[in-house]
Structure 1
Amino acid sequence: MDLNTITAVAHPQTRAQLPVWTPGDAWLAGGTWLFSEPQIHLTRLVDLTDLKWPALTITESHLTIAATCTIAQLDALACPTDWLAAPLINQCCRAFLASFKIWKTATVGGNLCMSLPAGPMISLTAALDGVCTVWKSAGGEERISVADFVTGNQCNRLAPGDLLRQIDIPMAALKRRSAFRQISLAPVGRSAALLIGSLDADGALALTITASTVRPMRLVFGTPPDASTLRDTIAQLITDDLYHTDIHGKPFWRRQMTLRLAEEIRGELLDTAPP
């Protein structure tokens, strides 16, 4: 869609060249949402392409995903064999249910910044203990866990002019055993519940609940919980007002699916038969 209120497009090549943020500005990365509907309040786009951030960087301690990394680039990552959680990357990329055109354009950072409950990059990076680096509009930077970055349906910790630079995934998270569950009302539909569990070498179990809730919910058990403990903990942590509601699923159904998928994940990671 043409954005006919735009009068200027900035092309910074370094952070120092980022323009002073003013009302009517918008960051442009993939632009798949930005160009999908009228944006009559915008007058200038700040194109991040020329910053040329490396899409993916692997070090001894972590995987860095640039905010401008596309879904296609992330999905194509050749993961080391000891990354037991590597299947989550492809599973979450495919949770988009998007065309190849969107895959090649939409960005990981854009998915986080949209902060939709069903954002699968939120699910992936929150489950893998991801930490966002945010360039503050007033200078400096802030590091925020993905689980805390998203605060509600289309709400997050970004202030006007703040820029999400990257998400760092610790190597330890990538080497944990994991389990993935996702459900939608329709065979090809938006996620109504997307849960990811992981189990570390010490037996601690972590469960990340997304899509069914308005923001990511993290549960960590120091010792493996039984079915009753898991169910009770979810019920205590996630109150009725935290379950999302829209045409893709009502809160009561999302709650039931969350409990069901959580128990499936517990059973898979702990190798227990369903009751």
Structure 2
Amino acid sequence: MDLNTVTEVVHPLSRTQLPVWTAGDAWLAGGTWLFSEPQVHLTRLIDLTDLNWPALTIGDTHLTIAATCTVAQLDVLACSPDWMAAPLINQCCRAFLASFKIWKTATVGGNICMSLPAGPMISLTSALDGVCTIWAARGGERTIPVIDFVTGDHANVLAPGDLLRQIDIPIAALKRRSAFRQISLTPVGRSAAVLIGTVAHDGAFTLTVTAATIRPVQMSFAAIPRADELRDTILRRIADGFYHADVHGRPLWRKHMTLRLAEEIRDELQARP
């Protein structure tokens, strides 16, 4: 869609060239949502692509995902054989309600910053203890876990002019055992619930609930819990009013599926070493 109120597109080459943020500005990375509907409040786009951030960097302790990394680039990442949680990357990429054309353009950072309950990059990075690095509009930077970055349906911690620079995933998190469950009302519909369970080397179990709730919810246990313990914890941690409501699923159904899928994950991870 043409954005006919935009009168300027800026192409900074470095952080020092980023313009002062003003009303009517928007960051442009993939632009798959930005160009999908009218944006009559916008007058200037700040294109991030010329910053040329490396899409993916594997370090000694972290996998760094640039905010401008596309879904397609993430999906073909060559993972180390000991990254037992690596299948989550492909599973979450395929949880997108998007074609391969969108995969080549849509960015990991864009999906997180949209902060929709069904955002699969939120599911992936929050389940793997991802940490966001944010460039503050007034200078400097701060970090915040992805699980805390999203604060509600289409809401997050970014202030006007703040920019998500990258997400760092601990290598230790990628070495956990994992189990993934996703459900939609239709075969290719938007996710109504995405649950990810992981087990660390010390036996600690973590369950991350997304899509079913208005923001990510994470529950941790010293070991894989009993079925009743897991169920009681979910019922206690997720109030009925915290389940998301839209045409893709009613809250009561999302609650039911959350409890069901959580038990499936518990069974799967308990059954295999």
Fold in common (TM above 0.5):
yes
Aligned residues: 272
In structure 2, the partner of 1:40 is 40
Equivalent residue for 2:228? 228
2:261 is aligned with 1:261: yes
- The answer for the alignment partner of 2:270 in structure 1 is 270
Structure 1: runs of 5+ lacking an equivalent: none
Correspondence list, 1:106-125, <5 A: 106-125=106-125
Distance in structure 1 (CA, Å) of the matches to 2:97 and 2:155: 23
1:100 deviation in Å?
1.2
- State the partner residue of 2:101: 101
1:50 aligned partner: 50
Helix, strand or coil at the partner of 2:121: helix
> Structure 1: which amino acid aligns with 2:152?
G
1:199 and 2:199 matched: yes
After superposing on structure 2, the runs of 4+ consecutive aligned residues of structure 1 that deviate more than 2 Å are none
Cα drift, residue 229 of structure 1: 0.4
C-alpha deviations, 1:74-94, integer Å up to 9, x for none? 001010100000000000000
Match of 1:216 in 2: 216
Q: Which residue of 2 aligns with 1:140?
A: 140
| Percent identity (aligned) | 74
Measured in 2, the distance between the counterparts of 1:24 and 1:14 equals: 21
Question: How high is the TM-score relative to the length of structure 2?
Answer: 0.99
Q: State the distance in 2 between where 1:218 and 1:164 align.
A: 22
What does residue 252 of structure 1 align with?
A: 252
- SS of the residue corresponding to residue 201 of structure 2 reads coil
CA separation in 1, counterparts of 2:23 and 2:14?
22
Q: Which segments of 5 or more consecutive residues in structure 2 lack a partner in the other structure?
A: none
**Counterpart position of 2:169:** 169
In the TM superposition, residue 97 of structure 1 has moved relative to its aligned partner by 3.4
Cα distance in 1 for residues equivalent to 2:258 and 2:231: 10
Q: Distance in 2 between matches of 1:8 and 1:81?
A: 46
How far, CA to CA, are the matches of 1:110 and 1:97 in structure 2?
Answer: 14
Aligned to 1:66: 66
Q: Distance in 1 between matches of 2:30 and 2:114?
A: 12
Counterpart CA distance in 2 for 1:122 and 1:223 is 24
SS in 2 for 1:219: strand
Matches of 2:115 and 2:215, distance apart in 1: 8
CA distance in 2, matches of 1:157, 1:216: 14
Rounded to whole Å, the distance in 1 between the matches of 2:235 and 2:188 is 29
- SS class of match (1:113): helix
- Coordinate RMSD, CA, aligned: 0.7
Give the equivalent residue in structure 2 for 1:75: 75
Q: Structure 1: which amino acid aligns with 2:127?
A: A
Report the CA distance between 1:241 and its aligned residue.
1.4
